[in-house]
Structure 1
Amino acid sequence: MRASLPGETLDWLSPGGSVTLTSQGWPEGASREGTLLSILPNLEENGLQAQLLIAVDDPLALNQDGPALRLGDVLRVAFHTSAEEPLIALPSAALRPGEQVWWVDEDNRLQSTQGTLAYRGQEEVLIRSGLEPGQRVVTAGLAQPREGQEVRIRQRGDTPAQDEGAAQ
């Protein structure tokens, strides 16, 4: 099968790497495994996307359990890579316009920093610099955040009625 990917992410991929395929049309939790065969030399005409060739053993699932790959299926491909640099993964919701990230210091006060992105996905971003491991990052929306503003941290299981206006 073929997949398209933004060209700037190619540095993390190499032929022989494994991939996981999922689809919204498949049962919950269903996936298939594949292997990145090659990165094709030409770019997709309508968007400068690199073309990748992925192999999947038994694509029709005749000899194994799992969903069959059919012509025209829309699949999500997760590449298993080993980044050579330290990166911090955050939910996409934590990134504000201008690559700004809000975090809470040891005194429960808001601080902001400019993050340098290594990757931006629909659900997750990878930060190259601007944050340190272990920092408490705000993932919930803040109405009018101000640097130094004191916040209450909402714990898992708290309801908004218990802790109105708290940061996560």
Structure 2
Amino acid sequence: MPAAAKARWLALLIIALGALALGAAYTFKPPAQKKPQVSAKPVVQTLPLTLADYPLTIRSQGTVQPRNSTTLVTEVAGEVIHIASVFEAGGLFKRGDVLLRIDPHDYQVAVQQAEAALAGAKARLAEELGKAEVARREWASLIKQGRKPTDLALRKPYVDQAKAAVDSAQADLAAAERKLARTQIRAPYDGMVQNRQADLGQYVNLGTALGQVFATDSAEVRLPIADQQLPFLYSSAQHSVAHQQAVNLSAQFGAQSVSWPARIVRSEATVDERNRMHYLVARIDDPYNLRANSTAPALKVGSFVQAAISGEPLTQVYRLPRSLLHGDNQLLVADRDDRLQQRTLTLLRSTGQYIYFRSGTEPGDRAIQTALELPVPGTALQVNPATQQATP
């Protein structure tokens, strides 16, 4: 057979074998896998809306101030001859303790002079009473004869004058003794020295400031409260802002946060014209831990503290994270038909973390947690089954 014919038959054989191979591959190929259809509905996570009661805390802040603070001043003039060791900044004292003494010699002399004057007045009164008795006896026989003596004849004006002199001398003695007592500056209550302004050997005049002291039995903090927060502190039973409300005061001591219990004792009667704030006053008992066996640090006067006031609880309200709120109090929800809706809420209270409300939603609504780029009301949603729960 010629070579050209062999080549043609070889080519035809190769083509036939290739065709058979392609046919077999097509016949025995595995079936194509169908891709799952992707839903066009946005998948969202939701939070249930459940009515519940929530305790309420009002936040404020303020500076610790002494409940009683006194500037000690002199009521007599003289040289300072003694200063108590506790009469220094931070010194503790008891009521009645002598903190400072002024030279008493001039006032002791004044007391002696007043005592002498009183003794002389009493002697003159005794003399006049004796003379009046003599006059009364002399007039006794004349009265029987029908003659009537005058008050002057009975020496009554002289007796009254002598009695008045005694009263005046007694008053002068009391004034002298009072001035002598004022040479000793005594503590008006249990407390602590804030500062001292007088020194040993100093001559002080009437009204000279000697130092500042304050009571340690309790301290107070003025807490500013905004208008919108007052209703949550209103007591329907007292028909006013509730007194004796519990307050937790806290401050940072290094890396440690320390708290002290306090209570609301009064509300101030005016509104601050500068910031339109109302002020409540919280009282802390024994801020320096002088009576109680406590390991907590002393709450010193002048400390800045944060305050958490226990308000009236919110009853049967919804609570959601504040981050779910959009625009002008707008909330995105999945309705009972799993469609996107936008609800306008009427907020009862809003904090940095939560919002509280009672109205604005409808039965079956669930709050949407998932961020949606273009929320269009009425859009069908695929709600994550793990978070589905309708409003009761």
Task: Give the one of 276, 281, 290 matched to 1:53.
Answer: 281
**Conserved in 1, the CA contact under 8 Å of 2:232 and 2:311?**
no
| Offset of residue 40 of structure 1 | 1.4
Residue 249 (structure 2) pairs with residue 21 (structure 1):
yes
Residue 304 (structure 2) pairs with residue 73 (structure 1):
yes
Counterpart-to-counterpart distance in 1, 2:330 and 2:374: 14
Cross-structure match for 2:222: 2
Higher mean alpha-carbon deviation, 39-48 vs 69-78, is at: 69-78
Cross-structure match for 1:165: none
| Offset of residue 52 of structure 1 | 0.9
| Offset of residue 108 of structure 1 | 3.9
| Offset of residue 53 of structure 1 | 0.8
Q: Please give the per-residue CA displacement for 1:5-56, whole angstroms capped at 9, x wherever unaligned.
A: 111221221112223334566636x544322222212223332121111123
Task: Give the one of 223, 232, 253 matched to 1:12.
Answer: 232
Counterpart-to-counterpart distance in 2, 1:4 and 1:82: 20
Task: Give the one of 268, 272, 281 matched to 1:44.
Answer: 272
Residue 350 (structure 2) pairs with residue 130 (structure 1):
no
Note closer, same or farther for the CA distance 1:147–1:68 as it changes in structure 2 (3 Å cut): farther
Of all paired residues, the percent bearing the same amino acid is: 25
**Conserved in 1, the CA contact under 8 Å of 2:345 and 2:360?**
yes
Task: Give the one of 15, 33, 57 matched to 2:261.
Answer: 33
Partner-residue secondary structure (3-state), 2:373? coil
Cross-structure match for 2:327: 97
Kindly report structure 1 stretches of 4+ aligned residues shifted beyond 6 Å.
none
Partner-residue secondary structure (3-state), 1:43? coil
Note closer, same or farther for the CA distance 1:27–1:48 as it changes in structure 2 (3 Å cut): same
1:136-155 equivalence runs, <5 A: 136-139=366-369, 141-149=371-379, 150-153=381-384
Cross-structure match for 2:346: 116
Uncovered stretches (5+) of structure 2, i.e. residues with no partner:
1-220, 234-241, 388-392
| Offset of residue 72 of structure 1 | 4.0
Q: Please give the per-residue CA displacement for 1:44-71, whole angstroms capped at 9, x wherever unaligned.
A: 3332121111123343466435565453
Higher mean alpha-carbon deviation, 47-56 vs 12-21, is at: 12-21
Q: Scaled by the length of structure 1, what TM-score is found? A: 0.68
Q: Please give the per-residue CA displacement for 1:67-112, whole angstroms capped at 9, x wherever unaligned.
A: 65453424142423234x6432222212222111122234443322
Aligned-residue RMSD, C-alpha: 3.4
Note closer, same or farther for the CA distance 1:126–1:82 as it changes in structure 2 (3 Å cut): same
Looking at both structures, which has the greater relative contact order when contacts are Cα pairs under 8 Å and sequence separation is at least 6?
2
**Conserved in 1, the CA contact under 8 Å of 2:336 and 2:363?**
no
Cross-structure match for 2:107: none
How many residues in Structure 1 have an aligned counterpart in Structure 2?
Answer: 154
Partner-residue secondary structure (3-state), 2:287? coil
**Conserved in 2, the CA contact under 8 Å of 1:91 and 1:139?**
no
